[in-house]
């Protein structure tokens, strides 16, 4: 199904009121038809979260579907490709960015051990800019090729999906339920005063530049004051 990346709601046809089925090649959230709400045991002592897992009147009045929260697409050879968990996708430059797709691409660059991708709010900008928290192999830290990473990202990803910011982390991201924990990173954003308290530091790429460069308090001031536009 087509989902609004900003609200995580199912997009519905304004004429029929029914959900919009995405082409398999484009992908969307997987919904599963169920006979009744009893088919899902629900979340313990959390009725509100349980209700959000159900979607009614999807293709016809009275039908009932379970929302998996998983966004997938089917490749031409018939294989299914996991794109993201619902809520991890963000919008930038009026396009939906899959954090899983970006993280997978960056993880293939030499020296990158882990790439945890998320969107960050910026002053004077619409949507969320891409930020990748990257843990670099200690053996490659001093000689890491930031220009090469940017060139690689621009080759492997759509222009709007190339991370604007890089957070170089001193330790790998803690996992929650076998998933990368993006919430603390997303909440801290790209304010250098906040990020550098943890021992991490930020890089960014300005429009037209060819490499990632240090992003500190002076750069943050330019961005916060509306003097830098991405």
Question: Angle 63-64-67 (CA atoms, 0-180°, nearest 5)?
Answer: 140
What's the gap between Cα 161 and its chain centre? 9
d(CA 64, CA 115) in angstroms, rounded, equals 37
pLDDT at 127: 87
User: What six digits make up the tokens of 229?
Assistant: 């536009």
CATH numbers and ranges of domains, the chain? 1-87 (2.30.38), 89-224 (3.30.300.30)
**Residue 190 pLDDT:** 96
Contact 33, 25 (CB under 8 A): no
Rounded to 5°, the CA angle 132-137-140 comes to: 105
Contact (CB, 8 A) for 167 and 200: yes
In degrees and rounded to multiples of 5, residue 14 shows phi and psi of -65, -20
Contact by Cβ (8 Å): 54, 66: yes
Largest CA distance in the chain: 61
**Per-residue pLDDT tens digits of the chain, which is 230 residues long:** 998 876 788 999 999 999 999 999 888 999 999 999 999 988 888 888 899 899 999 999 999 999 998 888 898 899 988 877 777 788 899 888 889 889 999 999 999 999 999 999 999 998 899 999 999 999 999 999 999 999 999 999 999 999 999 999 998 876 655 567 788 898 999 999 999 999 999 999 998 899 999 999 999 999 998 888 89
d(CA 3, CA 82) in angstroms, rounded, equals 15
The 10s digit of each residue's pLDDT in 27-43 is 899 999 999 999 998 88
Q: How far apart are CA 183 and CA 12, in angstroms?
A: 29
Cβ–Cβ under 8 Å, residues 202 and 120: no
Whole-number Å distance between alpha carbons of 146 and 134: 12
C-alpha 204/C-alpha 155 separation (Å) is 18
Pair 80, 147: CB distance under 8 Å: no
pTM: 0.72
Query: Which are the contacts of 79, defined by CB distance < 8 A and separation ≥ 6?
Result: none
Sign of CA dihedral 211, 142, 185, 188: negative
């Amino acid at each position: 199904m087509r989902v609004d990346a900003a609200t995580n709601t199912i997009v519905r046809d304004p004429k029929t009121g029914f959900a919009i089925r995405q082409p398999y090649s484009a992908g969307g959230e997987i919904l599963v038809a169920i006979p009744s709400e009893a088919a899902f045991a629900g979340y313990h002592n959390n009725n509100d979260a349980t209700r959000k897992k159900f979607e009614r009147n999807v293709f016809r009045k009275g039908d009932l579907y379970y929302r998996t929260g998983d966004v997938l697409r089917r490749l031409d050879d018939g294989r299914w490709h996991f794109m993201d968990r619902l809520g991890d996708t963000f919008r930038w430059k009026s396009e939906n960015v899959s954090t899983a797709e970006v993280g997978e691409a960056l993880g293939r660059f030499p020296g990158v051990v882990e790439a945890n991708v998320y969107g960050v709010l910026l002053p004077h900008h619409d949507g969320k800019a891409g930020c990748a928290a990257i843990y670099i192999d200690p053996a490659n830290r001093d000689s890491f090729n930031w220009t090469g990473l940017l060139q690689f990202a621009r080759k492997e990803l759509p222009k709007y999906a190339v991370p604007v910011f890089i957070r170089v982390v001193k330790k790998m991201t803690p996992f929650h339920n076998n998933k990368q924990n993006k919430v603390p990173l997303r909440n801290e954003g790209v304010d250098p005063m906040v990020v550098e308290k943890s021992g991490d530091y930020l890089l960014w790429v300005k429009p037209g530049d060819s490499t990632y460069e240090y992003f500190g308090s002076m750069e943050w001031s330019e961005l916060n004051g509306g003097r830098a536009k991405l």
